[in-house]
Amino acid sequence: MRLSTSTLVSAVVLPALVSAHDIHHARFQPRQAAPASSAASAATPSTVAASGVTSAGAPSTVASAASSISEPPTASFSLLSSNANAVPLSSINANAPSQATVALDTTYQAGATPTVVSSAPGLPNPSSLVISSYPPLDKTPPTDSPEVQQWIQEVANSGVSIPNFSSTVAGGCPANAAAVADTSRCWWTCGGCTRDTDIVSCPDKNTWGLTYDDGPSPYTPTLLSYLDEQSLKSTFFVVGSRALSYPATLQAEYMGGHQIAVHTWSHPELTTLSNEEIIAELGWTKKIIKDVTGVTPNMMRPPYGDIDDRVRAICTAMGLTPVMWTRISPMATFDTGDFDIHSGATSVTQVLANWENILGNASVMDTGFIVLEHDLFQQSVDVATGYILPDALAHKYTIEPVVNCVNKPMSDAYIETNDNSTNPPIASGGAATLSSGAPGSAEATAKAGGSGNSSSSASALVSSPKSLGLFALTTVIVSLVGGSVATLL
């Protein structure tokens, strides 16, 4: 696909980010747009033609397609480049007709091995999968099966202490006042607390750790085709139920040099589950990925970012490192909001405004960044391949999977191929310590008097050395230019 370049001038120097959604939840609530007082909201609208971004030198407006669903207001944005073959913005909405799905470019024979994962075992034959031997799709697996009972015992034998926190309840922060007040549990959902074992950014400036959640789906092959054309690789956080439904697509991701990681079996808020249920969600997802690819991932992303120290401890005991997305304050995360186009809760123009806001904030960071995006829906794939990725390429970002963005080889992403020399499991050593004063950490929240805001100083806190192992990667901290903090928070 050919990229068309069209520079649009925007009045936004450092726009505000889309707000971090209240975890329980964003799938049912619209994400918040940039504040009305910001330059992003005040910018003059401009016109985007059906073939893509065509204005030169002026901001442009997008007309919404006629729809029975009430579309959210359009938003202003600017792109350096778009895909000449992009789906028109007016056609990326909740009422978009289903497109014909594309076939995978390549399918693979059993026994094949990927070129980018050294010492990988041969690829299993997906036709040998017995569907009935796995839990029901899209439901938290039962905990009384022999497999789950074995995993529960392995966690008990790991030596990792699991905090005795009670499960949260549906309803997010407002429904869990006691959990919110208990800063010792380090609940990311309410306040943005992170631990050193959470990967939240890439250490090198201008590096984007590319990730997609919730697949594989019927639209993932379209995304894979575009990534292949542009020689880009990503991390795919895989839902176990969908891996069982689309094993050939999962194999294509893995064999194509993309990183595969865990995103649970049925996509629940993990803090609402019991210890045994969390183990079942993670264990079955690890198993189906190994049964399809031959390797077991050692990274995971909690659905909705819903993680606390109880969930972290279980992940550690199961050999999984949490990967979040970049968060610059308790109320601002690097989330495009692309998931909500499908439901009509947000517009594609707001998603692109969110993207431009992310880039504005990334430009003043001393580190790279990780963004939340999805490959589950046609609309999110269309906006990624048509607009977000071409724009990122025009900005000359280094775009790579998370394992590579933290300066590790792809072989370090899987238990069977990781030799532990540069990426030892965290459970094999001492417990990592919390980066003192990191934005979103317990210390930073306490220093802010419980407000959750990062320091009003424009100076940055320092990030950890690259030499640390992947599982001991310290929380990466942003560095802000003078006078920008008020805009960021």
Span 254-308, pLDDT tens digits:
999 999 999 999 999 999 999 999 999 999 999 999 999 999 999 999 999 999 9
Question: How many other C-beta atoms are found inside a 10 Å radius of the C-beta of residue 102?
Answer: 14
The pLDDT of residue 377 is above 70: yes
DSSP H/E element including 362: helix 348-362
In this prediction, residue 420 carries a pLDDT of 72
Active-site residue 374, yes or no? yes
Q: What is the distance in angstroms between the CA of the first residue and the CA of the last residue of the chain?
A: 38
Q: Average pLDDT of the chain?
A: 78
pLDDT, residue 10, reads 30
Q: Which pLDDT score, from 0 to 100, does residue 200 have?
A: 97
Q: Which of 263, 338, 374, 412 is catalytic?
A: 374
The domain 1-99+136-489 having CATH identifier 3.20.20.370: the answer here is yes
At 120, the pLDDT band (50, 70, 90 cuts) reads very high
Question: Is 80 exceeded by the pLDDT of residue 436?
Answer: no
Structural Rg of the chain based on CA atoms: 21
Q: Is 144 a catalytic residue?
A: no
Closest C-alpha to 80, from 384, 392, 291: 392
What's the pLDDT score for residue 26?
A: 41
Sign of CA pseudo-dihedral 170, 171, 176, 179: positive
Residue 44 pLDDT more than 90?
Answer: no
Contact between residue 52 and residue 60 where contact means Cβ atoms under 8 Å apart: no
**pTM (whole model) above 0.85:** no
Catalytic residue among 22, 213, 214, 291: 213
pLDDT band at 155; cut points 50, 70, 90: very high
CA 333 to the chain's CA centroid: 11
Residue 387: which of 102, 80, 94 has the closest Cα? 80
Phi/psi region, residue 144 (left: phi>0; alpha: psi -120 to 50; beta: rest), is alpha
| Residues 6+ positions from 318 with CB-CB distance below 8 Å | 151, 154, 155, 279, 282, 283, 286
Q: Provide the residue ranges of all domains of the chain, joining segments of one domain with +.
A: 1-99+136-489
Cβ neighbour number for residue 107 with a 10 Å cutoff: 13
Which pLDDT score, from 0 to 100, does residue 427 have?
Answer: 60
